[in-house]
Amino acid sequence: LLEALCQSFEFREDPSFWKDHNVQVIIRIRPLSSSEMSLQGYSRCVRQDSCHTITWTGHPESRFTFDLVADENVSQEMLFKVAGVQMVENCMGGYNSCMFAYGQTGSGKTHTMLGDIEGGTRRHSVNCGMTPRVFEYLFSRIQKEKEARREEKIKFTCKCSFLEIYNEQILDLLDTSSINLQVREDTKKGVYVENLTEVEVTSARDVIQQLVQGSANRKVAATNMNRASSRSHSVFTCIIESKWESQGVTHHRFARLNLVDLAGSERQKSSGAEGERLKEATNINKSLSTLGLVIMNLVNMSNGKSLHVPYRDSKLTFLLQDSLGGNAKTIIIANISPSSCCSLETLSTLKFAQRAKFIKNHAIVNEDASGDVLAMRIQIQQLKKEVSRLQ
Ligand code: ADP
Ligand code: MG
């Protein structure tokens, strides 16, 4: 089994990982926790059959196929190599990219997306998660690109922001005095959050500093409002812009990278809840259930039905609409617990992930059109010259 898992490295070279335009879906099984292991007669509710397939062993048994099934032996580093490296390459190429972590509370979403960030970058900690690794790699790629393309005077600018959606309200995690921010849509800017703090970052260390600060603010906000952070969604965004000169034309390329740690997908208990608690339960259901509905309608549309996709019905789906059936390359990491005590939630996550696999995106390179047209004109002129020279 371990051998089969190690082959997951082949995904990096294996074009099948990005061969289709669909959302890429990874299942990550976390190790049994010590409390789960101490349960008398504990058992597992899933069996991994290969690095693509997993069987839910309840009744009736159900088998699922994904782009990758990663069990507890797949390290943070391996997962980064399989999914993170390609994501950075896509951003460097001017594609919007998005990674979602989905799953019930305690299934490993934050471990996957952030992991141990206090310890710094991956050189320092094996538990360091996807986001810090992605930025370490991104800045090393930027450095290489600058060196290789010195003549083109290539310049990069990276700006990041960090927000939380809780109770259908947006909180700026880099400036907690900003609450209830609004999502706007603009023909030039696309979808954006008005008045959200954007910080320029020039190294992985800068990014980690913002991640640590934002995560601490998230905890404080949760304590002040007397709630668990598992009930909110967090979105870390980085906009990567590059400018270079080629044959007298200035090119401009940009990509938006979204890293999303979703609220726990377990059913919220609204029974007995009153006031704020009831509102909270309903609203959390709203963002996640709208996400489910958006996915369902996108899937049905890919089967030829014409349907309204309710992106605007929740903050989460409005903000991330490009990543769901739009201009982005998207990866969903669905986290599950292998313990039979989480059996039903695990099945529900596997079903969600299976539906998500059908979403088709339409990613294009975000490059400045005028530059492009000019570059093409120049090319045409050169080709014409070439043709007349040959005649
Ligand atoms: P979530 O964010 O989904 O609520 P966490 O990421 O906080 O869950 O994970 C719950 C616990 O399980 C944490 O103590 C975390 O360190 C541990 N854990 C989760 N996934 C893994 C994994 N793949 N390997 C080791 N420990 C893990
Ligand atoms: Mg978490």
In this prediction the ipTM stands at: 0.99
Could you tell me the strand order of the sheet in which 62-65 lies? 46-48, 53-56, 62-65
Confidence band for 80, pLDDT divided at 50, 70 and 90: very high
Cα–Cα distance measured from residue 315 to residue 95, given in angstroms and rounded to the nearest whole number:
23
127 has pLDDT over 50: yes
Ligand nearest to the CA of 36: 1
Please report, in range form, the residues annotated as the binding site for ATP: 103-110
Residue 45: per-residue pLDDT: 94
β-bridge partners, 128: 115
Go through the chain and tell me how many residues it has.
Answer: 391
For residue 387, give the amino acid letter: V
Name the closest-CA residue to atom 17, ligand 1. 108
The DSSP secondary structure of 38-96, one letter per residue, reads: HSTT--BSEEE-SSSEEEE-SSS-EEEE-SEEE-TTS-HHHHIIIIIHHHHHHHHTT--
Predicted confidence band at 227 (pLDDT cuts at 50, 70, 90)?
A: confident
Residue 60, preceding bond cis, omega within 30 degrees?
Answer: yes
Counting ligand 1 atoms within 8 A of each CB, the residue from 8, 30, 219 with the most, and so the one to mutate, is 30
- What mean pLDDT, rounded, does the chain reach? 85
What was the pLDDT predicted at 287? 84
**CA gyration radius, the chain:** 22
* pLDDT of 251 over the 70 cut: yes
Tokens describing residue 344: 């039903």
Single pTM value for the model: 0.88
Give whichever of 72-76, 142-146, 189-193 has the largest mean pLDDT. 142-146
pLDDT tens for each residue of 320-361 = 988 888 888 899 999 999 999 899 999 999 999 999 888 888
Residues 6+ positions from 173 with CB-CB distance below 8 Å: 162, 163, 164, 213, 214, 215, 217, 218, 221, 234
Amino acid at 173: L
pLDDT for the residue 221: 82
Residue 13 — very low, low, confident or very high, per pLDDT cuts 50/70/90?
Answer: very low
Average pLDDT value for residue range 166-183: 91
Percent of the chain exceeding pLDDT 90 equals 49
Task: Return the ligand 1 atom nearest residue 105 CA.
Answer: 4
Give the closest residue (by CA) to ligand 1 atom 20.
Answer: 108
Nearest ligand for residue 336 CA? 1
Mean pLDDT for the stretch of residues 10-39: 74
pLDDT level of residue 201 (50, 70, 90 thresholds): very high
As for ligand 1, residues whose beta carbon falls within 6 Å of it are 30-31, 72, 103, 105-111, 230, 335
pLDDT at 15: 45
